[in-house]
Structure 1
Amino acid sequence: MRDNHIYQVPLLINGQDVTGEGRERRPIVNPATGETIGELTLASVADIDLAAETAQAGFEEWRRRTPLERANILSVVALAMRSDVERLASLLTSEQGKTLKEARGEVLGSADLVQWLGEEGKRVYGRVVPSRFSNMEQLVLLDPVGPVAAFSAWNYPISLAARKIGHALAAGCSVVIKPAEECPSAVLALARMFHAAGVPPAALQVLFGHPAQVSERLIASPHIRKITFTGSTSVGRHLATLAGAALKKVTFELGGHAPVIVMDDADIDAFVEAAVASKYRNAGQICTSPSRFFVHERVYQRTVDAFVQRAKALTVGNGADSATDMGPLAQGRRVSAMEELTHDALTHGGRILTGGAGRSGAGYFWQPTVLADVSAEARLMREEPFGPVAAFQPVASLDDALRAANSTEYGLAGYAFTSTIEGARRIQEGLRVGILGLNTFTPSVPEMPFAGVRDSGIGAAMGYEGLMEHMNVKAVFRAG
C-alpha cells in the first residue's frame, strides 16, 4: 500500500532529478518498524550510460579548477554537513536503523573527512628528479585519473559516500556514485550539498538500480577510468575481474573479521568498556567491528563475565529513541544470518552467555550476543558475522593468539590489548592486517590510510595514500 506519507527518491544526473517514464521502483523500509517509508527510482541502462557520459564532461570541467578552488568548495560542503547534521542523522536512522547518536557521529566524522581531503588535495606534489644530462629536466607529475565509478554500502551510507566522493573530487576527478538502495536519502542530500557548494552538476552523479547491472555497465563504459567499491569479498572478486579485463584502476574495501587479542597484562576493565561499545556499535554492522576475541586463559573468565554484564545492560530498540543503545539490523536477511551463525556455533561446542535471539514484533532486531568457547571449526570463527555477535576463545600464549587471529584470509582490522612494549611489538609485526589498534578500538581517522590485505581489499582510502589512488603518474623529460 502507498500513502501520502511515502516520499520519492530520484536519480540525480547532471544536476537534474530523474524519475518516472516507466522506470522501475523499489520500496524503502524502516528497519525498526518494517514499514515502507519511501520509494526509490532505479536507473535504466540509458540512465547509466548518460551518467557515465556526463561524468566525462564533468571531469574536463572540474580538473581545470585549481586545488585551492576545490578545497574551498569541499570546505563549504563540510560546513553544510555540520549545519544540517540533525536532518542527515534522522535520514540515516530512519533508513539504516542506527541510533541518532551514532548517526550524528557519522555525519560529523564525514564532514571532517571531506574538509581534510580538500586541504590535502592542495598538497599533492610532484617531484623534480636530478637529471644525468646537463640539458634536461626530469619531472614527475600527478594527473587525476578521470571519471570514477563508486559503489558504497548500506552500513555507513554517509561516511562511505563522503569518502568516495571526497577522494575523487579532491583529486580533480568526477564521480558517479551508486549508494546502497536500502539507504538512499542521506546520500542524495549529501550530493545536493556538493552541487550547492560549487561542484559542477556534471562532476557528480547519483545512480540507484540493480547492483549487477549498474556496476557492469559503468565498469565497461569507456568514460570510466577508476572503480572504488566497499562491500563483500565475493562481490569484490567479481568486480575486480571486470575491472581487470577493462584495465581500470581499483580501490576495494572488502570484508573483515577482526581478531582481538587480550593478554593477561592488559587493563581488563578498560578493555571491556571499550570492547562492548565497539562491538555493538551500529549493531555490529561494521567491517572493522571486533568479532573474534582471543583472551589469555589467566584472565579469560574474568574478561568474559565482565563483557557479558556490560552487553546485558545495553538497551535495544528504535534508533530514534534516545534511550536506545543499539538499533535494529538493517535488513531481515541479517537476522537470518545471525540465526544461522549462532546455531552453527552451538553445534561446534559454543555456549550462549547472553542474547542469541531476535525480538518478537516488528523490525529486524537481534539481541547483543556473546558466545564462549566457540570452536575454530565453527562458521562464526571463519565467516564475517556483520552483526552483534561476539565469539570468545581462551588462549595459552601470545603465539597461540597470533596463530588463531591469522587463521582466516581476512586482513582488514585487528586489535590487541597489552601493557608491555615487547608484546605490542610482537603483535605489530605478527598480526596480518592493514589496520591495527593497540589498546584502542579507534582504527579510522582522515589523516591515516584505511587499507585491508588479502581478502579484505586492494589499495587504500584516506590519508595521502587515498588521494594517490586517484592519480596517474606522468614522467616528463624536458630537454632544451
Structure 2
Amino acid sequence: MSYPELKMLIAGEWVLGSDGASEPVICPADGTEIGHVPHASPADLDRALESSLDGFNLWRKMTPHSRQAILEKAARLLEDRFEVNSANLTREMGKPLAEAKIEMQVAIDLLRWYAEEAKRVYGRIIPSRFPGMQHEARKLPVGPALAFVAWNFPATNVMRKVAGALAAGCSITIKPSEETPATAIAIGTALVDAGLPEGVLNIVFGVPAQVSEHLLGSTIPRKLSFTGSVPVGIHLQQLAAKNMIRCTMELGGHSPVMVFKDADIDAAAQLCAMGKFRNAGQVCISPTRFFIEEPVRDQFLAAFRKHVEAVTTGNGLDAGVTMGPLVAERRIDIMDGFVADALQKGAELLVGGGRIQSPGSFYQPTLLNDVPDTARIMIEEPFGPIAPTAVFANIDEVIARANSLPFGLAAYAFTNSAKTVGILKTEIETGMLAVNSLHVHSVETPFGGLKFSGYGHEGGSEGLDAFLATRYSSEIYT
C-alpha cells in the first residue's frame, strides 16, 4: 500500500502549486521520505479566497437537510476507505495503527454529528414591549472561514473545523500541517466525491507564516479557527484583528493530575499511564503534571512504573506496538532538555530518559520522581512521553499548584470523595475536568480551554455556534 500523491484542493480542483514549490514528507518511524507536499503561491491563495466566497454564497442557500445529505455521504465514503486512511495517518504521523483507527472513527462521528445537529439551529421570537411589533433573532452562517491546524491529530484536528463550518453553512479554507497532509486530503477527497460544491472547501499548504499572513490579510474570511501553540495563536489573533475576523483558539495545555489518597490507586496508575503515553504524549490534553497525595505516593509510583516499563515502542504499523515515535527529529533534543533540567534541579529518574537508538525519532517512555515546580517540565508544555511526578500534602496546596500556570485546558482528579470533587469543580481553573477517568471530550460535548489555553469551543452545540452569527430584526405593520 503506497502513500498517496499529494495535491491541494483549490476552487474544486486538485492541483500542485503554481510556482512548483514543495517540501518532503518524512515518515517519523524510519526517517524516510514518503512524499512531497505542494506549496501554494500567493496567486493560489487568492484563488482559494475568491472561490471560498463564491462557494459560501452557494452553500449558505442550501437547506440544512441538503447539506446533511452531502456530509452523510462523505462520512460513508470515509468508512469505505477507513483502513487505507488509517494506515496513511500512521505513516505520516507515527502513532500506533490502533490509535489512528480510533481517531479516524472519531472524525467520521464528528462529521455525522455536526451534519445532524445543524438541522436544529434555532432562532427565537422575542416578546415586544411595543404593540404590533415583532422581534426576531436568527442564526446564520458567519461567512467564509479559515482554519490552521497542528500535526498531532491529522484527522480530528481537521474535521473539528471542517465539519463545524460546513454544517453551519460556511465555506472553509484550511491549511493542515505540512508534516501530515495525506489525512486532510483524504477527508477533502471524500467530501468532493460526495458532491460538495466547488469552493466550499479549499485545502492549501505552504510556509505557515506566509500562508496565514496572506489569508488573514484578506477581507473575505469572517472566521478563524486555530489549533496550535500559544505564541502562534497570539500572533494569529493580532493578524485577524486587522480585519475584525472573529476567532476560536484551541491552544496549549499543561494538564495537572491530582491523585488523592482515597482514590483507587491501581486504577488511577493504569489510566494515567495509558493517557500519558497515548500518541507519545503529543496531545494537548495529555496528563502532564502528576501530583500524588503523600500517603499513597509510593503505592502509586510502584504501579505507575510497571505500566511505563510495559510500553512497547516501535513502528505504529507493527503488531503489538503501543507507542510510536515523536513526529520529527527536532523533538528529541527538546525531550532531552526537559530531562536534563529536571535532574539538575533534583528530580530522580526512574524509567527511560533518553533517545531509543534506532531509525526514526523514538524516545523512551520516561518517569521522573520528586520533580520540583521550578523545573522546566513543570512549567512548559512538554508534548512528549515524559511523566513528571511530585507529592502534595492537602487539597489547598494542590489546587494552588495546579492553577499556578497560565494554561487552563484540561485537568484530572482521582478521588472517591464527593466533597473533594465539589471543591475541584469550583476552584480548578480549567476548561475541562475529568474525575476518575481521562475522558474530557466526546463529539457532542464542548472542547475548549481558559486563560492562555484559548477561548471558544469545538464539539457540541457550542462548536456549531462558533460558525454562526446572530441577526436581529424587528417588524411592524400599520
Question: So what's the TM-score if we normalise by structure 1?
Answer: 0.98
Give 2:47's aligned amino acid: L
CA distance in 1, matches of 2:302, 2:242: 52
Tell me which amino acid in the other structure corresponds to 2:426: E
Answering whether residue 171 of structure 2 is matched by residue 174 of structure 1, we say: yes
Letter matched to residue 350 of structure 2: L
Matched with 1:59 is 56
- Provide the residue aligned with 2:399 in structure 1: 402
Q: Which amino acid aligns with 1:119?
A: E
In structure 1, runs of 5+ residues without a counterpart are none
- Equivalent AA in structure 2 for residue 453 of structure 1: L
Q: Distance in 1 between matches of 2:394 and 2:45?
A: 54
Does residue 392 of structure 2 align to residue 434 of structure 1? Answer: no
Q: Which residue of 2 aligns with 1:321?
A: 318
Task: State the match for 2:410 in structure 1.
Answer: 413
Paired position in structure 1 for 2:147: 150
Distance across 1 between alignment mates of 2:175 and 2:274: 30
Is 1:467 the counterpart of 2:460? The answer is no
Residue 114 of structure 2 aligns with which residue?
117
Q: For residues 373-417 of structure 1, what are the alpha-carbon distances to aligned partners after superposition, in whole Å with 9 as ceiling and x for unaligned?
A: 101111000000001111101000111111111110000010001
Q: Secondary structure at the match of 1:50?
A: helix
Structure 2 portions without partners, runs of 5+: none
Name 1:191's counterpart in structure 2.
188
Distance (whole Å) between structure 2 residues aligned to residue 83 and residue 443 of structure 1? 29
Q: CA deviation at 1:352?
A: 0.9
SS at match of 2:261: coil
- Give, as a single letter, the amino acid of the residue that structure 2 aligns with 1:448: T
Change (3 A) 1:284 1:435: same
Counterparts of 1:341 and 1:80, CA distance in 2: 43
SS at match of 2:295: coil
8 Å contact kept, 1:131–1:137: yes
Partner in structure 1 of residue 211 of structure 2:
214
Q: Structure 1 residues 197, 210: closer, same or farther in 2, change over 3 A?
A: same
Q: State the partner residue of 1:251.
A: 248
Conserved? CA contact 1:7–1:39, under 8 Å: no
Distance 1:20 1:203, change over 3 A: closer
User: Aligned equivalents of 2:345 and 2:195: distance in 1?
Assistant: 57
Q: What is the distance in 2 between the residues matched to 1:231 and 1:441? A: 21
2:25 matches 1:28: yes
Q: For 1:451, what is the secondary structure of its paired residue?
A: coil
> How far apart are residue 270 of structure 1 and its match?
1.1
Are 1:69 and 2:71 matched, yes or no? no
Letter in 2 for 1:134: P
SS in 2 for 1:286: coil
The answer to whether structure 1 residue 160 and structure 2 residue 154 are counterparts is no
Q: What amino acid sits opposite 2:389 in the alignment?
A: F
Contact 1:6 1:39 in 2 (8 A): no
Distance 1:20 1:178, change over 3 A: closer
In the alignment, what sits opposite 2:476? 479
**Structure 1 Cα separation of the partners of residues 40 and 228 of structure 2:** 20
What amino acid sits opposite 2:135 in the alignment? Q
Q: Provide the identity percentage.
A: 42
* SS of the residue 2:305 aligns to: helix
Match of 1:43 in 2: 40
User: How does the TM-score come out when normalised to structure 2?
Assistant: 0.98
Matched, 1:355 2:352: yes
Which residue pairs with 2:7 in the alignment?
10
Q: 1:105 aligns with which of 85, 102, 106?
A: 102
| Deviation by residue 1:43-98 (Cα, 9 ceiling, x = unmatched) | 10111111011100000010011111112222222222222211111111100000
Preserved contact between residue 152 and residue 180 of structure 1 (Cα < 8 Å): yes
Residues 334 and 222 of structure 1: is their aligned pair in 2 closer, same or farther, counting only changes over 3 Å?
same
For 1:310 and 1:205, locate their aligned partners in 2 and report how far apart those are by CA, in whole Å. Answer: 43
CA contact (8 A) 1:262 1:295 kept: yes
Counterpart in the other structure of 2:259: 262
